[in-house]
Chain A
Amino acid sequence: MTDESQAMSGVTDGPLLSVENLRTTFYTDQETIHAVDGVSFTVSPQQTLGVVGESGSGKSVTARSILGLVDDPGRVHPDSEIRYHDPAFVQTVARTYPDRVTWAGEKTARSASDAFVTIESGSGEGSSVTVERGSVNLVAAPDDVTRSLRGSEVAMVFQDAQTALNPVYTVGNQIKELLDIHQGLSGTEATEAAADLLESVGIPDPKRRLSEYPHQFSGGMQQRTVIALALACDPAVLLCDEPTTALDVTIQAQILELLERLQHERNLSILFITHDMGVIAQVADAVAVMYAGEVVEQASVDRLFDQPRHPYTQGLLQSIPGLASEGDRLPTIDGRVPTPNEPATYCRYAPRCPEAFEECKSTHPERVPVDSANEKSGWMRAHTAACLLYPEDESLEDRLQMHHNFGAPDESDAATTAREDD
């Protein structure tokens, strides 16, 4: 376990969803693409984590990996961890799989090597265990655990609302199906609940709308319906994958407002993926900036926009028209996002980075606090960046050494797995 996650467990209101060193790789005939390459972040209860990045940075694959929706030829690396921390869920899973539980902190691990449930505090054991705090690692968990998580705990809102709704069923039918699965509602009860849901996402005259087909809805209403579908599952976490990209600004404003309201009403945690810096600034509490499959910077939203530290984030913010100085020319980033088709042994941003130096080509930067002051503040408030320039109050040698050390365990890990595979 790394220092980071220990620090995180110290926080009283721990994360609801945490992703640790997530690697999702696509193996095609021609090449191996590391679409997500060692991504870590946490989503806190009732908070919004924004994930921002250009196309091809691996944002969507990250969201899909969480729900176990990565299709062939993609695979989530078995060493990755996606942990879900809701005690009730952890307890249910622990009771179903009593022989695959680890008790954190106990030296005499009563756990099998294939354990995926970690209990940090709780009592009892076997099928009558009670859990106060713990987590389930979804990567190692059997399929039916992931399946039981989908919807009821973590639901997803996709970008293209028009194709995300089944064209041959009425909207009511689709909502009621989920109400039946996740809340056991049926008949008139379900119809009422479905109408309420549509109303709560701001669709007027909801009863009539229930009997209409998706294509009879406008784009904004379709997106609202997709959100209503997700809400019908009564989830704790909402993964929003570019939910407003296809919409006009006035409709986008409506949807963003709606999400904000729903978050308060329903105590949702949101993972919000977008490429639009403006949208991120409006919705997120904390932001992770992704580049070529890696998170290159993470900070609270205010800090990130006030003091972006990673050269990529800086470049990205400067190149937004309107935000930059009134001068005619916009500062730009040269080159293009590379396809991460080889293991990262260097900084993937280096070729485009105005501040790159020799070592950037040979040392892979790890996510470190941007300065030592920052290290001590809590995880969610931490400002980290994956760049050899940081922590900025250390000397160059120390920094290089630090990044190198951070990177080393990963490599040995990989080596052991390789051996095990043999």
Chain B
Amino acid sequence: MTEQNDEQDDPLVVVDGLRTYYGSERLLGGEPVKAVDGVSFEIARGETFGIVGESGCGKTTLGRSILRLEDADSGTVEFDGTDLLSLGRRDLKAWRRNAQMVYQNPTSSINERMTVGRIVREPLDIHDWGMPHDRRNRVSELLDRVGLQPEHYHRYPHQFSGGQRQRIGIARALALEPDFIVLDEPVSALDVSVQAKILNLLLDLQDEYDLTYLLIAHDLSVVRHICDRVGVMYLGKLMEVGPTEQLFRSPSNPYTRALLSAIPQPDPDAGADRITLRGTPPSPRNPPTGCVFSTRCPFKIRREEHESLTTEQWDSIEEFRDVLREREKLRTTPLQRVKARLGREPPVTPIEEVVSELFELSTYPESVQETVDQTATLVVEGEFTAARELLEETFSTVCEHERPDQHQVADGQASRCHRHLSEYEEPREFLSE
């Protein structure tokens, strides 16, 4: 760890403001998917940098964009001082020797119609590595190194288990002696007992060949085990970055906290202070305008007049807003409109019922109650947009209006959250309340 601080001055990979959108070129397209939306970080030489996040958060796209397997829309990726995004075809091909990728799915990442030997050899052939004889020796050596037998050269991937296939994938990635390897969920498709072996192998190889890893994973325990530093991603944004242990011990960002608390610990006595998030992440086509996490955040900044509300009460309000958001969306599809005109509108719970279910249990301050009632009236009149806007006017805060900046919260640890601003309570303080 101490070494690493020295090396920080000499980063191998520098990603700055990287944006990758896709789906915008479709004919009847509409909004593009903002898979990676302005991500910046650095990876030091010899370090293992982890990216964690739930599925659909854009972590794989990020890895692929760095290797230029996906065309980034803006931003820069610097590798050892060269700007990758401006490389020409030839330079790019030459550069590819430096960086490789290990894939998640060991069955689909290697071509099953080729023998293991040919699979591992192909990168060597493409880059005209040495003489054919040397290549064969190199392949045998690699197979041996990743824990396979040289006689596996003539076998087909079919004859191997998932763990062994992943070893083949690793051997192929190592073939050209790269400096940098993107590990895209390298163990998530494997059984626990096999996982451990692959992780050990990766660690050994890192020591031996002085490799730099970018590890993409959703399994936080894996990340904690092998990463030096971690970035937590949500909806295309990097929510928090920091040294692994520090981040795991004292997460600053609300999302990181929720994510960490959601991991089931293999220990029946493990703490019960779990934060369960409501709902699911919004579509990356239409991310929330403010903080991307604002629709689910349990730490959301409230207006002063609402600070006195209990968590349950606040949740009811949030849920009410969710319901309205959904209903508004529902009305906009043409087929639905046709249906509505034909009198075949799907039966929905009358808004009064929704209101009574959500707000009956406790007494709210008058102003809140009033807004809710007003909204309900608007909904009955069919003014969904007005209703949503009214709620927004009443309850939304900076979390929903502005993108949070990155705040340095500790040494080497940065987090994107409005609560780090001095005028608000820090997330951890808020929780302890």
Contact = CB atoms under 8 A, between A and B. Distances in A.
- A/B: CB atoms within 8 Å of each other: yes
Interface of A: 54-55, 191, 195, 199, 204-208, 210-212, 218-221, 248-254, 256-257, 275-282, 301-302, 305, 315-317, 319-324, 328-333, 336-337
Contacts of B195: 319, 321
A204 B322 contact: yes
Contact of A275 (B191, B261, B326): B191
A276 B323 contact: no
B55 to A, nearest CB: 6
Nearest to A205: B323
B221 A305 contact: no
Contacts of B338: none
Given A218-B280, A320-B266, A321-B224, A248 B191 contact: no
Contact of A220 (B196, B220, B280, B330): B280
B346 interface: yes
Contacts, number: 142
A301 B276 CA distance: 23
Interface of B is mostly: helix
Nearest to A256: B264
A319 B330 CA distance: 47
B218 A204 contact: no
Contacts of A321: 195-196, 199, 221-222, 224-226
Contact of B347 (A55, A211, A256): A211
B169 interface: no
B192 A275 contact: yes
B199 A281 contact: no
Nearest to A322: B221
13 contacts: A205-B348, A205-B349, A208-B347, A208-B349, A219-B280, A249-B218, A249-B220, A252-B264, A277-B192, A279-B264, A319-B196, A320-B221, A336-B163
A205 B163 contact: no
B258 interface: yes
Interface in B338-374: 346-349, 354, 357
Which label, helix, strand, loop or mixed, suits the secondary structure of the A interface?
Answer: helix
Interface of B: 54-55, 161, 163, 191-197, 199-200, 203, 218, 220-222, 224-226, 258-259, 261-270, 274, 276-277, 280, 319, 322-323, 326-327, 330, 346-349, 354, 357
Given A54-B193, A328-B203, A330-B196, A252 B265 contact: no
Nearest to A249: B262
B263 A249 contact: yes
A220 to B, nearest CB: 5
Contact of B280 (A205, A251, A257): A251
Given A322-B220, A328-B203, 10 more contacts: A208-B346, A211-B347, A248-B218, A249-B220, A251-B280, A253-B264, A305-B266, A319-B196, A331-B196, A332-B197
A332 B193 contact: yes
A316 B194 CA distance: 10
A204 B191 contact: no
Contact of B264 (A254, A278, A317): A278
Contacts of B196: 319-321, 330-333
Contact of A208 (B197, B322, B327): B327
